[in-house]
Every structure is written in C-alpha cells, then in structure tokens.
C-alpha cells in the first residue's frame, strides 16, 4: 500500500497548519459541534476533524473513534487533501486500489466507507479534512456530499477566526518596535511563574536591564539610531535566553527577562553574558551603549508581581549607582 503523494506545496501547507496553532490547543466546542453534526446528518458512526501533519494525521475532534492520531502513511485524509476543491468519497474501500490493503481497512478499525471534505485556509492550503467513515460500504447522496463540504467550510472559517483572534492577542501583547513581549505580557507571565512557585515550589529569576548611554544616541544621532539600538538589544536577549524564558521591553530603554524552571542558571553569569554580548553588539553598531543589569533569583514567592519587579529594579539601580555597565545579583 503506497502512501499518498506529498502535495507540491507541502512546505507552505505545513507552515500554514502550524501557524493555525491547532495542534497544541485545547478542544474547542465549535469544532466538536460541527463534527457531531457531520456524523448525525450523514448517519455515520465515525466523524473526525483530521489535521495532516508531516508524519501523522491528528484528530482534533472525533466521534466514534478511540485513537487520537494515526500514521500519515495510512491516512485516507492524506489523499483527500490532494484535491482541495473536491470532497473525496470512497464507497467501498476494499474495491479501491489505494486502500484495499490499508491496515485501517483490513484491521480492527474495519473501515469500509470514507468521505472527506478538505479544510482549506485563506492561503488555499488544505491542512486536513472534515471526514466521516463507516464499517459498511455505502453510497453518499449528492445532497450529503454538498452538506459535508459546507460543514468543512464552516470548520475552515472557525479556524480562520481563531487564528485571527490569536494574532490580535499577540499584537496586543507585543512591543511593536522590538517584537519582544510588552509590559502587560511580561506581568502576566510573572504572575503565572509565581503561581507555579506557590504550587510546585519551583524558583524563578528576573533580569532587569537599563541601557547606559541610550539618551546620548538619541540626542546625537536621532530616534532612528535609537530604535536600531533597541532592536539590537532585543536580538541579544533572544539569543541569550532559553526557549522557556521570556524577554520583554518594559518601556523606553528598559528590558526585563523572566527565567523559569527548576534548573535555575547562575544569574550572575547569565547577567554577565547578556551584558558582554550587548556591549559587543553595540561596538559593531558604533554606539557607546552598555547596560546596568540587576539579577534576582526568587527561592521564595514574593508578595506579588509588583514587589518582585520592584526588587529586581532596585538591584538594577544599585548596578547603575555603582558605575554602570555591570551586573549585580541577589537572591530572595
């Protein structure tokens, strides 16, 4: 049994699927309702919203099916997405050369009938299907085919709405100039880190940076040069942090980093690595800018997020008062 051919636009299709952020989000009632409706209106014992990933098909919602995924090699939907504008109907899988020896047909699942309507994004990529299946061979009337296609369009529109909503939320929580999290997003992440600490006892740490010499760049070279310095600082922070950490622009030329997880790094060393990398990057830009850095590891929960931020801010100002371009660390 050969697997379905890979679509010509596969890399773009996968990028779009992942941009929809469907694979790692919770079950959505709207998707569940549409899946139930597809099963009911076609009198089918099985119905699924299937997302075709690189090596798997993942069932976002399912009715009458226990497994939440299968290999893409045996996926019916991997064939259906090859024609984004057509609903694929297989009246009897044992009579179709593509599926007669498929384990989903010959094995315990015993699928004898399949119909799948592609889920097509605004970019025109088929990322999966709304599909139905039965353990008996059967025909699907034209009205039911059209109904399944209409429900698939409703699923696609729901996906587009969710994607747009996430993008709007992302913009609301992102600093437009640097692409880092903004103050609101950082404080929310800090609250969550504190909640985890109270629940699991895991420490967290904060870095707070204030750029030394930034005002001089703005005064001498203009705000475009200042913006370049801020973007370069963001790049340095992104390169220095782990994936699970968060960097944010708190306003003006002040930046903060939240480092989470039980395996806390040496904050003095981390702060020094950031400070040195920043100085090196500014030398390349020809800007006399450095950073005063405060670093605090919280072994015990602070009173609240504002208190945690005030503590690391005070340590940062101690670094500035001690001569700038240096790191001072503390532990609570």
pLDDT digits (tens, 9 = 90+) for 61-120: 999 999 999 999 999 999 999 999 999 999 999 999 999 999 999 999 999 999 999 999
Span between the terminal Cα atoms of the chain, in Å: 62
User: At the topology level of CATH, where does 183-331 sit?
Assistant: Alpha-Beta Plaits (3.30.70)
Common-topology check for domains 10-170 and 183-331: no
Q: How would residue 24 be classed by pLDDT, with cut points 50, 70 and 90? A: low
Which is it for strands 254-259 and 327-331: parallel, antiparallel or unpaired?
unpaired
- pLDDT at 152 (0 to 100): 97
- pLDDT at 104 (0 to 100): 96
Query: Is 253 noted as a catalytic residue in this protein?
Result: yes
Q: How would residue 20 be classed by pLDDT, with cut points 50, 70 and 90? A: confident
Which is it for strands 290-298 and 327-331: parallel, antiparallel or unpaired?
parallel
| Residue ranges covered by each domain of the chain | 10-170, 183-331
pLDDT digits (tens, 9 = 90+) for 148-180: 999 999 999 999 988 888 777 777 788 989 999
User: Which CATH superfamily groups domain 10-170?
Assistant: GAF domain (3.30.450.40)
**Cα–Cα distance, 155 to 140 (Å, whole number):** 20
Mean pLDDT for the stretch of residues 289-298: 95
The catalytic residue among 134, 210, 253, 325 is 253
Tell me: pLDDT of 262 over 60.
no
């Amino acid at each position: 049994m050969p697997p379905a051919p890979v679509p010509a636009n596969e890399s773009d299709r996968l990028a779009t699927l992942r941009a929809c952020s469907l694979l790692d989000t919770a079950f959505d009632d709207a998707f569940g309702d549409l899946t139930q409706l597809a099963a009911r209106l076609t009198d089918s014992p099985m119905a699924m919203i299937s997302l075709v990933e690189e090596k798997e098909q993942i069932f976002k919602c399912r009715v009458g099916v226990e497994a939440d995924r299968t290999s893409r090699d045996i996926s019916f939907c991997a064939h259906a997405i090859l024609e984004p504008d057509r609903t694929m109907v297989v009246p009897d899988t044992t009579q179709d050369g593509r599926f007669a020896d498929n384990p989903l047909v010959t094995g315990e699942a015993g699928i004898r009938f399949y119909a799948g309507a592609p889920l097509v994004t605004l970019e025109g990529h088929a990322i999966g299907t709304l599909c139905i299946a039965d353990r008996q061979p059967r025909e699907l009337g034209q009205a039911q085919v059209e109904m399944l296609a209409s429900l698939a369009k409703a699923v696609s529109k729901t996906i587009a709405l969710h994607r747009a909503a996430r993008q709007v939320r992302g913009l609301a929580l992102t600093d437009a100039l640097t692409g880092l999290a903004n103050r609101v997003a950082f404080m929310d992440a800090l609250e969550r880190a504190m909640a985890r600490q109270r629940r699991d006892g895991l420490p967290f740490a904060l870095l707070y940076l204030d750029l030394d010499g930034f005002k001089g760049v703005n005064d001498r070279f203009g705000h475009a040069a200042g913006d370049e310095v801020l973007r370069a600082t963001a790049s340095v922070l992104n390169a220095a942090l782990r994936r699970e950490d968060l960097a944010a622009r708190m306003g003006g030329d002040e930046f903060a980093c939240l480092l989470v997880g039980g395996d806390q790094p040496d904050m003095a060393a981390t702060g020094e690595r950031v400070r040195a990398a920043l100085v090196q990057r500014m030398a390349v830009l020809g800007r006399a800018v450095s950073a005063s850095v405060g670093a605090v590891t919280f072994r015990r929960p602070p009173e609240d997020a504002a208190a945690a931020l005030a503590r690391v801010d005070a340590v940062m100002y101690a670094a500035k008062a001690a001569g700038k371009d240096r790191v001072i660390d503390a532990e609570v």
